[in-house]
Structure 1
Amino acid sequence: MMPPKPPARPDKVSLWRYARLFRSDILSAQPARLYRAWMAEFRTPFFRSYLLNQPELVKTVLKDRPDAFPKSDRVGEGLRPLLGNSVFVTNGATWKRQRRIIDPAFEGGRLRETFPAMWAASEAAAARLETVTGGNVEVEGIASHAAADVIFRTLFSIPIDHDIAQAVFDEFRVYQRSQPILNIAALLPLPNWMPRLFRRDTKRSAARIRSLIAQLTAQRSIAISQGDAPDDLATKIMTTPDPETGDTFSTEEMVDQVAIFFLAGHETSASALAWALYLAALYPNWQDRIASEAKVLDECDFGVMSKLRISRDVFRETLRLYPPVPMMVRENQCPETLRDRAVRPGSQLVLSPWHLHRHSRLWDDPDGFNPDRWATENGKACMRDAYIPFSAGARVCPGAGFAMIEGPLILSRILRDFRVTCVTGKTPVPVAHLTVRSDAGIWLRFDRR
């Protein structure tokens, strides 16, 4: 049994069809040959794009020579109204300075320190589900609520029902559906000098979110100056100096960084958790194994995570089949030769977890759901060379370790108490908004075990 695939994959896709499908369903626009190609070229009158699926090429771009392949400005422009000059969109010296300040907050020891906040969020998520048992529930909303709760508890030590946290969450739901994963300029033949246009509701929502985040940041700055700020991620980041210059983030810079923490830490986690719950419903034998394993969740103890092996493997398999960020775009600065093909400076290099994780020449049963694969030789090899749900190399997501605690924990906590089943006639179709979501939500039925 396999999870539903994207809509039928065409053999070829014209530039016009790409333009037409881009905002509504970029995933179905991908031709079938891209799931078996090592490298593919996409030409426009102004620039060329190359999809890189060969593990050696991915390693070159992400790990071996990342400075030679910075993030494309075309991609950054699409998220600029919300993210400003955050670590997600910057390059070069600015990005390196930002990471020097941010990375210490996400070191291994912080996982244990933030675990109680994640535990509290998982308990709150299970409690909210008590009110919807016996009925059909749209789980993307449930997952978003839980993931946002984790972010606010770990970042600012406030629960999701705090007035500002709730306002940010509500406004982000508006923003999420108005903004595709990339600005259309990323793949259409528009020259770099041409101004990018944004929908009014997208700009309005971004401005509102940033205003609310600025309030939280200002309040925390005052608490830090008074010496009574909680020891959470926000305090850690705001008080960590750049080891090279001694400078800390300004207020405006901190707003930029909090915006990306919320986007990356909430939106991506919500996407993965929603699809994990769907796959659990689709494969009840795996769901029952998770539920049985989850009986160890009886008290807040970080050590319990080592016992959630099945949940971890299911969550890892979910990230393979439904990577929250399906495509990443880099731009080469100098002439390159990739697979004996000359690649001009300024070309777009697309690294696609969506394709790489389902590549027919790399994975055994690439479209199948099999959490046991991670114990096989093929699974271990592919995890090293062809598995990048959090990117890889210098720009790997600093919160990857957090995500691999948060996801399995909440998944286990929910399935410990609730059985989830699919809703007839509500098969979700994956599409790309800010992350991989369903075209019409993911609907499941929740019943008390």
Structure 2
Amino acid sequence: MEDVSNEAVAAKVARTGTDAGPIAKQVIPPKPAARSAKVSLWRYLRLFRADLLSAQPAKLYRAWMAEFRTPFFRSYLVNQPDLVDTVLKQQPDAFPKSNRISEGLRPLLGNSVFLTNGEIWKRQRRIIDPAFEGGRLRQVYPAMYAAAEAAITRLSGQLAGMPDQPIEIEAETSHAAADVIFRTLFSIPIEHHVAQEVFDRFRAYQQSQPILNLAAFVPLPRWVPRFHRPATRQNAARIRALITDLTQRRMQAIDAGLAPDDLATKIMTTTDPETGEVFSTDDMVDQVAIFFLAGHETSASALAWALYLVALAPNWQDQIAKEASGLSLDSFANVSKLRVSRDVFREALRLYPPVPMMVRETTCPQQFRDRILPEGAQVVLSPWHLHRHTRLWDNPDGFDPGRWQTENGKTCQRDAYIPFSAGPRVCTGAGFAMIEGPLILSMILRRYRVTPVSGKEPVPVAHLTVRSKNGIWLRLTPLESDAQPERER
């Protein structure tokens, strides 16, 4: 963990006129060391493969815009808020998603909404979006709560046998987030054999690091074979086969009038209001794959980091435990009362955005600042750097959930905070995640005290999402049993 200098804290007080708190209590969680010097393209590729974040130069934390050239294309990382707004909100059709990033993900995600552009993407969103509207979230909340309860039961089982044994919390949050997806999407718990195999296979798929593919850096015609690792192809094929079986069974249940009213049924029975079409089996398999990636992997990452952050700042976990202790969280109406938990989860998403970079492509020349971006240029939007930008945020590397109640925090939330992207392509499940994360965080912290494990400080790395290189290890100590509301015992 890094130190905060007295000068940095004093500068914040001078700039904002607010009390930054006792210097000794400032919490600066782990951050990858950025490269400081220029490197060759091949050196950059090696660094990129090891970790997307530490491969980037330190100047990106203060630059409004930076250019990166290769023999094959130009790339521009953009941090200036009005330019980010142009790409995501004002002219999204002029900056479609780049196919370069999809090269490594297509074996699993196929033609999913995460990878498509234009009319295909618009059609997909017209069918998917109604399933995630506010009223629908209320309907699937009992399944979400059941998954959270199951996570607490698993933790209790582990601690019963070895109460002093550290727990690798990323594994637990991954399990919990996967359970949420399967219960809300297909009404089956993670213990179901199909759900468990998808979970295991996806973990193996992530470990094969499929995002770095030759075609991501060298433009290749579509007819040229893509050389993914055998393990990547095998795991992707098996995951898609399992999802296909689930989807076909659900279609049969829908035809028979026996399908549960969950997210899969809603999506599969929604017609495109413009064409009257519904998703085919192949369409649905593609979408379920990205629901699992976006809904499981990103939530698991953010929740694990949130637990680590409050382990470093015990006063915040005390506030979360106190806030949640008197609430019956099996009631959807009480989720809105988890204000402290929501601010902590929001701060975890700021410091460790699950998707650290998003890549768009220019469809025609564009002028950004004093540069002309040629057609086909890559425009990189980096939540990782934008969320820690030294010219935008007060105490950018510090863990401070209270910032969201300050003027600077409110301004940056509007202009420089994009953990779920923004504009038409904002993550469909953003509202879902902002219920799931604070709920599970609150349910864990009103039952357990979490403390960091000496000698096992996490090292953030980014492949598919921002995770810890060797996991996030915490000790969990049970709190008083009477912390739970009576009706939930």
Q: Do they superpose with TM above 0.5?
A: yes
Task: Specify the alignment match of 1:175 in structure 2.
Answer: 205
C-alpha displacement at 1:13, in angstroms?
A: 4.0
Task: Specify the alignment match of 1:29 in structure 2.
Answer: 55
SS in 1 for 2:166: strand
Alpha-carbon distance between aligned partners in 2 of 1:255 and 1:339, rounded to the nearest angstrom? 42
Q: How does 1:375-394 map to 2 (within 5 A)?
A: 375-394=405-424
Alpha-carbon distance between aligned partners in 1 of 2:342 and 2:251, rounded to the nearest angstrom? 37
TM-score by length of 1: 0.98
Q: Kindly indicate whether residue 362 of structure 2 is the aligned counterpart of residue 332 of structure 1.
A: yes
The answer to whether the Cα contact below 8 Å between 2:320 and 2:341 also exists between their aligned partners in 1 is yes
SS in 2 for 1:29: coil
C-alpha displacement at 1:173, in angstroms?
A: 1.1
Q: How does 1:54-65 map to 2 (within 5 A)?
A: 54-65=80-91
- Paired residue type of 2:49: R
Q: Report 1 or 2 for greater relative contact order, CA contacts < 8 Å, sequence distance ≥ 6.
A: 1
- What stretches of structure 2 of length at least 5 have no aligned partner? 1-26, 480-489
**1:231-251 Cα deviation digits (max 9, x unpaired):** 100000000001011010001
Task: Specify the alignment match of 1:51 in structure 2.
Answer: 77
Q: How does 1:175-324 map to 2 (within 5 A)?
A: 175-183=205-213, 185-186=215-216, 188=217, 190-193=218-221, 195-324=225-354
TM-score by length of 2: 0.90
Range moving further from structure 2, 162-171 or 12-21: 12-21
What is the root-mean-square deviation in Å for CA atoms of aligned residues? Answer: 1.2
Alpha-carbon distance between aligned partners in 2 of 1:399 and 1:93, rounded to the nearest angstrom? 21
SS in 2 for 1:262: helix
Task: Specify the alignment match of 1:429 in structure 2.
Answer: 459
**1:131-189 Cα deviation digits (max 9, x unpaired):** 22221111111000000000001100111101111111111111111125454543x3x
Task: Specify the alignment match of 1:2 in structure 2.
Answer: 28
Task: Specify the alignment match of 1:71 in structure 2.
Answer: 97
Alpha-carbon distance between aligned partners in 1 of 2:444 and 2:35, rounded to the nearest angstrom? 34
- Paired residue type of 2:265: T
- Paired residue type of 1:389: P
Aligned equivalent of 1:108, options 123, 130, 134? 134
The answer to whether the Cα contact below 8 Å between 2:127 and 2:271 also exists between their aligned partners in 1 is yes
**1:184-227 Cα deviation digits (max 9, x unpaired):** 543x3x12336432111011000000000001001100000000
- Paired residue type of 1:68: A
Q: Using a 3 Å threshold, how does the CA distance of structure 1 residues 6 and 279 change in structure 2: closer, same or farther?
A: same
How many equivalent residue pairs?
Answer: 447
Alpha-carbon distance between aligned partners in 2 of 1:316 and 1:64, rounded to the nearest angstrom? 25
Q: Kindly indicate whether residue 47 of structure 2 is the aligned counterpart of residue 17 of structure 1.
A: no
C-alpha displacement at 1:23, in angstroms?
A: 1.7
Alpha-carbon distance between aligned partners in 2 of 1:447 and 1:181, rounded to the nearest angstrom? 38
Q: How does 1:360-439 map to 2 (within 5 A)?
A: 360-439=390-469
Range moving further from structure 2, 9-18 or 127-136: 9-18
- Larger gyration radius, structure 1 or structure 2: 2
- Paired residue type of 2:411: A
The answer to whether the Cα contact below 8 Å between 1:10 and 1:29 also exists between their aligned partners in 2 is no
Q: Kindly indicate whether residue 199 of structure 2 is the aligned counterpart of residue 155 of structure 1.
A: no
SS in 2 for 1:51: strand
Alpha-carbon distance between aligned partners in 1 of 2:394 and 2:72, rounded to the nearest angstrom? 38
- What stretches of structure 1 of length at least 5 have no aligned partner? none
Task: Specify the alignment match of 1:347 in structure 2.
Answer: 377
